[in-house]
């Protein structure tokens, strides 16, 4: 297992003191002074953060971040807090967070030990397996079958490197083709320009469910890595992180997370009313029972 052992956050770290009782710092001060927050979102990370048929960002991560915004309004006494939405990609999401363009990123970003060197994450809200999808007609049944073939992944992700690091993929010669976003990466597979799309299983599942012929696709059996997702935040911003963590853990403890999860993973979702039929994993249930912000190595 590559995820570090689940360790519950200390109560003191998870609970924020009332804003009125402390001096505001970091993102909390920035939001209070400006009366505004900018949320980074993805455009094609189904069902976490993506555009619906009205070109509005929706999804599981967006709904959870909406709860964070509600908490901010109450904590900072800003009922008319201005919320701006900024699309981000795998390549620019970290720089835009670091330079202050966005104040948090709500999408499908893996919390890794490496990324924690430059950014921070909330307690995790999802756990995914990195794998590859191919068309059934290709006859490919394992990673070894990808040798010498073009494979797509999204620019800024580490998916293809994971194949090369996998025991069964060390001798596989891959031809990488990068999509600017997940939608373009899947289109490369759908249009037969690549033999496989390597990415997080739930993201691939979202595209397959919305494809013209979902039955055309199959996942390869190898799991390259198990990864947690969380809200991405600026590093060393303990006050804002405490509020985000308190909000999410409150949703977990109340059991409301089950309703929110079912809405996005086990019910018809826009824009095509496709149902991902993706039950909650045992790993995610464990995280909800004992929230933590541990990153994958």
For residue 159, what pLDDT is reported? Answer: 67
Task: Tell how strand 196-200 and strand 217-219 pair up.
Answer: unpaired
Domain assignment present for residue 296? The answer is no
pLDDT digits (tens, 9 = 90+) for 244-273: 999 999 999 999 999 999 999 999 999 989
Domain assignment present for residue 165? The answer is yes
For residue 158, what pLDDT is reported? Answer: 66
Residues 23 and 97 in one domain: yes
Mean pLDDT of the 18-35 span: 85
For residue 249, the enclosing domain spans 11-125+230-289
Q: Could you give the number of structural domains in the chain? A: 2
Residues 117 and 164 in one domain: no
CA-to-CA separations, 273 to 107, 201, 228, 265, 293, in angstroms, rounded:
20, 20, 26, 12, 32
Domain assignment present for residue 295? The answer is no
> Which position has the higher pLDDT, 271 or 12?
271
Residues 221 and 235 in one domain: no
Domain assignment present for residue 183? The answer is yes
134 contacts 218 by C-beta, under 8 angstroms: yes
pLDDT of residue 57 exceeding 80, the answer is yes
> Which distant-in-sequence residues (6+ apart) come within 8 Å of 8 by Cβ?
290, 291, 292
Mean pLDDT of the 212-222 span: 94
Residues 35 and 77 in one domain: yes
Residues 107 and 148 in one domain: no
Residues 117 and 21 in one domain: yes
Residues 133 and 121 in one domain: no
Residues 98 and 235 in one domain: yes
Counting Cα atoms < 13 Å in the Cβ hemisphere of 297 gives: 6
For residue 172, what pLDDT is reported? Answer: 78
Domain-terminating residue out of 210, 226, 242: 226
CATH code for the domain of 267: 3.40.190.10
Residues 96 and 180 in one domain: no
For residue 157, what pLDDT is reported? Answer: 77
pLDDT of residue 16 exceeding 90, the answer is no
Domain assignment present for residue 177? The answer is yes
**Least confident interval from 45-59, 107-121, 152-166:** 152-166
Mean pLDDT of the 275-283 span: 93
Domain assignment present for residue 215? The answer is yes
pLDDT of residue 83 exceeding 80, the answer is yes
Domain assignment present for residue 5? The answer is no
Residues 20 and 99 in one domain: yes
Residues 245 and 109 in one domain: yes
Residues 21 and 88 in one domain: yes
pLDDT band for position 169 (50/70/90)?
low
| CB burial readout 186-211, b (16+ within 10 A) else e | bbbbbeeebbbbbbbbbbbbbbbbbb
Tell me the torsion sign for CA atoms 58, 63, 65, 66: positive
Domain assignment present for residue 276? The answer is yes
């Amino acid at each position: 297992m590559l995820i570090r052992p689940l360790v519950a956050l200390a109560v003191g770290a998870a609970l924020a003191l009332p804003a009125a009782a402390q001096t505001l710092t970091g993102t909390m001060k920035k939001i209070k002074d400006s009366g505004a927050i900018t949320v980074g979102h993805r455009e094609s990370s189904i069902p976490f953060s993506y555009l619906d048929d009205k070109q509005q960002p929706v999804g599981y991560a967006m709904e959870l971040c909406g709860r964070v915004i509600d908490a901010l309004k109450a904590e900072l006494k800003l009922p008319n807090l201005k919320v701006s939405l900024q699309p981000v990609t795998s390549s620019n999401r970290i720089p835009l967070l670091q330079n202050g363009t966005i104040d948090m990123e709500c999408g499908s970003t893996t919390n890794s030990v490496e990324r924690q060197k430059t950014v921070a994450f909330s307690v995790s809200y999802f756990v995914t397996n990195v794998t590859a999808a191919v068309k059934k007609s290709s006859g490919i049944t394992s990673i070894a079958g990808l040798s010498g073939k073009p494979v797509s992944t999204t620019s800024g992700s580490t998916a293809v490197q994971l194949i090369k690091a996998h025991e069964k993929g060390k001798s596989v010669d891959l031809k990488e083709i990068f999509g600017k976003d997940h939608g373009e990466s899947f289109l490369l597979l759908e249009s037969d320009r690549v033999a496989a799309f390597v990415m997080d299983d739930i993201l691939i599942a979202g595209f397959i469910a919305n494809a013209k012929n979902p039955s055309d696709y199959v996942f390869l059996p190898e799991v390259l890595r198990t990864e947690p997702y969380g809200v991405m935040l600026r590093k060393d911003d303990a006050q804002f992180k405490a509020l985000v963590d308190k909000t999410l853990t409150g949703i977990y403890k109340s059991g409301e997370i089950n309703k929110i999860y079912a809405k996005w993973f086990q019910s018809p979702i826009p824009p095509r009313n496709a149902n991902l039929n993706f039950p909650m994993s045992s790993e995610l249930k464990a995280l909800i029972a004992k929230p933590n912000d541990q990153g994958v190595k």
